[in-house]
Structure 1
Amino acid sequence: MENHRGKGLSFARRIYMPRIIGLGIGSISVGAALYPLNLPGWVWAFLLFNGTLWPHLAYQLSTRAAFPYRAERRNLLYDSLFGGFWTATFQFNPLIAVTILSMMTMNNVAAGGLKLFLLGALAQVTGVMISWLLFGVAFTPSATQLQLWACLPMLTLYPLAVGMVCYRLAIKLSEHKRALSALSRTDSLTGLLNHGAWKDLLHIKFQQCRQNQVASVMALIDIDHFKAINDTYGHIIGDSVLRQLSIELRRNLREGDLAGRYGGDEFCVILPAMSLQQAWEVMERLREVLNDYRHPQVPELRIQLSIGLATYQTAFTDAIAWLNDADKALYIAKNTGRNKISVTSPPPSGGSTTRLSA
């Protein structure tokens, strides 16, 4: 309900200013067409109301309604009704009739597509009938020089106002599209890349490594005994562990490094333009930081990581071969005591590591 109301209010705000401009300058064109005719004073009073007060009244009616979007669509039909009434009242002066009716039709199509176009056309016909009942049927086949000049503001300023509204709407849609694209590529719990997005970027990074022959390292990270953490402390604590790891990843990685949640308690990182020793140092620092972390609600909880590292090799036929190499290293780390780093080549001196034989 609140979401629909918010969208309706936004819709009413978008139409508010174009309606002020359109009806304001449109009343000038209508007044020039009515001027040669002998019409009662209330017609001029109604034109003044339609051109100056109605835009503000319509905005209040829509913003105060329970369903602003529906109310604003009704207001657009009232606009069409008034347009049909004025067209018949100034006796279908061709230049001004085409100007007024075409601008209102453009409004209806832009705001509601074919359905609102048809409803608007019906409202215009109704307005014509009301005018004919009041003043009779008459036609003025030509326009004066004054009437021609009176149409110019409507033909120039109003399309500009509508164009600005459409431009701003296009910008907002583009921003929403980018936001949705980012959400579709992001893991909701950790804020890192999700499985699919990381796999897509893995293939891109692999091709870059192949083309540029740049040393790069992949790391697969697994939280040791994560199921036991969930079983012992509950899934809320387990989720906080996953978030803490993602926080430390972002804190320890460079801007160009790619970190993602591969699935469950497994994370994956690509470290482009980095040697194996540098990558080992980064991952060792991460492992130690998590090992020293104490959860405020369960201080006895310990977070330990098993990590597998694999450097890019020209012998890899595709990105999956690189990923498999890192997975083999992780498998060794998990099966030789956990809480350590396993690499696919001799590790740097010091630290808790396991060498994975070729």
Structure 2
Amino acid sequence: MENQRGKGLSFARRIYVPRVIGLGFGFFSVGAALYSLNTPSWLWALLLFNGFVWPHLAYQISIRSAFPYQAERRNLLYDSLLGGFWAACVQFNPLTTVTILSMMTMNNVAAGGQRLSLLGALAQLGGMLLGCTIFGFNLNLTMTQAQVWACLPMLTLYPLALGMVCYRLAIKLSQHKRALSALSRTDSLTGLLNHGAWKDLLHLKYQQCRQYHTQATLALIDIDHFKIINDSYGHIVGDAVLRQLSRELKFLLDESELAGRYGGDEFCVILPNLPLNKAEALMEQLRAALLQYRHPDVPQLRVSLSIGLARFQPLYKDALDWLDDADKALYTAKHTGRNTISVALPRPQANDANHSSA
């Protein structure tokens, strides 16, 4: 409910400035056509109200409404109704009528698409019928120089204002789209890549290593006895440990080194263009940093890591082979005392394997 109201308020704010500009200049367009006619005083008063009071009143009606979006759509239909009414009042003067109705139709299309433009056209027709009922049907095809000059600002500045509104909306939508895309790829607790996004990058990095013959090292990181941490100290402390590990990863890694949360207490890192010894040294820094971590509410807590490393090998059939080697190295680290780093052994070449079997 609150979110819908927020969207409605945003919609009303977008319409406000174009309405102020459009109806303000529309006053002069209609006024120039009415000037040569026998126009009653009350009609001039209505035109002044429509041109300079109604835009601000419509905005206040929308933002004070419980449903701003629906209120603003009704206001747009009132605009169209009055537009048709003014077309009848100026006796369907071609330039003034086309200027007013086309600008309003443009606004309806931009604001509500086909449905609102159709409703707006019906409202314009209703306004014409109302005007003809009051003043009779008259047709005045004469256009003066004053009417041409009075319509020019409406024809030039109003489309500019509407175009700027649409441009800003497009920029905002693009920003929202990028933000949503980033959120869909990010683990909410740690801010690292989530499982799916990291797996996609692993497959991409595998293809790059094969195609360009580059090297990279894959690391799988597991927090030792994480279930015991959660069971003994609670999930809030466990979450703090996960966030601390993500902070240390972000601190140690550069932009080309890609870290993700693989699941639960398991993290994963792709270290491109990094020799195995340097990758091992980097992971040793990470292991030592977590060992020094102290939770302010649980000072006795000690956090250690088991890490498995696997360097890319051309023998891998796919990225899952690479991941499987890193996982086996992690298994070795966890079953040889934990709090350590294990490196996957190179796979034997095909000819070596054949020679061994022989």
Structure 2: distance between partners of 1:337 and 1:6: 56
Structure 1: distance between partners of 2:338 and 2:12: 61
Paired amino acid for 2:85: F
Structure 1: distance between partners of 2:72 and 2:194: 41
| Paired residue secondary structure (2:59) | helix
| Paired residue secondary structure (2:65) | coil
Structure 2: distance between partners of 1:254 and 1:147: 66
| Paired residue secondary structure (1:231) | helix
Residue in structure 2 matched with residue 235 of structure 1 by the alignment: 235
Paired amino acid for 1:284: E
| Paired residue secondary structure (1:268) | strand
| Paired residue secondary structure (2:270) | strand
- State the Cα distance separating 1:271 from its structure 2 match: 0.8
CA deviation map 1:108-155 (0-9, x unaligned):
122122332232222222222221222111112343333233222222
Paired amino acid for 2:17: M
Residue in structure 2 matched with residue 147 of structure 1 by the alignment: 147
Residue in structure 2 matched with residue 21 of structure 1 by the alignment: 21
Identical residues among aligned pairs (%): 72
- State the Cα distance separating 1:78 from its structure 2 match: 1.2
- 1:79-118 equivalent positions in 2, closer than 5 A: 79-118=79-118
Residue in structure 1 matched with residue 334 of structure 2 by the alignment: 334
CA RMSD of aligned residues (A): 1.5
- 1:340-351 equivalent positions in 2, closer than 5 A: 340-345=340-345
Paired amino acid for 1:339: N
Residue in structure 1 matched with residue 161 of structure 2 by the alignment: 161
> Structure 1: any 5+ residue segments left out of the alignment?
347-358
Structure 2: distance between partners of 1:180 and 1:70: 27
Structure 2: distance between partners of 1:182 and 1:230: 29
Greater alpha carbon shift after TM alignment, 201-210 vs 268-277: 201-210
Structure 2: distance between partners of 1:18 and 1:25: 11
Residue in structure 2 matched with residue 282 of structure 1 by the alignment: 282
Paired amino acid for 1:182: A
Structure 1: distance between partners of 2:169 and 2:301: 50
Structure 2: distance between partners of 1:181 and 1:223: 29
Greater alpha carbon shift after TM alignment, 316-325 vs 137-146: 137-146
Residue in structure 2 matched with residue 36 of structure 1 by the alignment: 36
| Paired residue secondary structure (2:342) | strand
Paired amino acid for 1:92: F
Structure 2: distance between partners of 1:152 and 1:271: 63
Matched, 1:260 2:260: yes
Structure 2: distance between partners of 1:59 and 1:274: 60
- 1:43-192 equivalent positions in 2, closer than 5 A: 43-192=43-192
Structure 1: distance between partners of 2:162 and 2:9: 18
- 1:283-302 equivalent positions in 2, closer than 5 A: 283-302=283-302
- TM-score, length basis structure 2: 0.93
- State the Cα distance separating 1:98 from its structure 2 match: 1.7
Runs of 4+ in 1 over 3 A off after TM superposition: none
Residue in structure 2 matched with residue 320 of structure 1 by the alignment: 320
Matched, 1:224 2:220: no
Structure 1: distance between partners of 2:197 and 2:120: 46
CA deviation map 1:308-328 (0-9, x unaligned):
001111222222221111111
Paired amino acid for 1:263: G
- State the Cα distance separating 1:285 from its structure 2 match: 1.1
CA deviation map 1:192-245 (0-9, x unaligned):
000110111112222222233222111000111111222222222211111111
- TM-score, length basis structure 1: 0.93
CA deviation map 1:18-53 (0-9, x unaligned):
111111112221112112211111211211221112
CA deviation map 1:258-277 (0-9, x unaligned):
00001111100011111111
| Paired residue secondary structure (1:307) | strand
- State the Cα distance separating 1:345 from its structure 2 match: 4.5
Greater alpha carbon shift after TM alignment, 118-127 vs 328-337: 118-127
Greater alpha carbon shift after TM alignment, 290-299 vs 143-152: 143-152
- State the Cα distance separating 1:180 from its structure 2 match: 0.1
Structure 2: distance between partners of 1:154 and 1:321: 67
- State the Cα distance separating 1:54 from its structure 2 match: 1.4
Structure 2: distance between partners of 1:330 and 1:67: 57
Structure 2: distance between partners of 1:262 and 1:177: 25
CA deviation map 1:80-128 (0-9, x unaligned):
1110110111111122212211111121122122332232222222222
Residue in structure 2 matched with residue 350 of structure 1 by the alignment: none
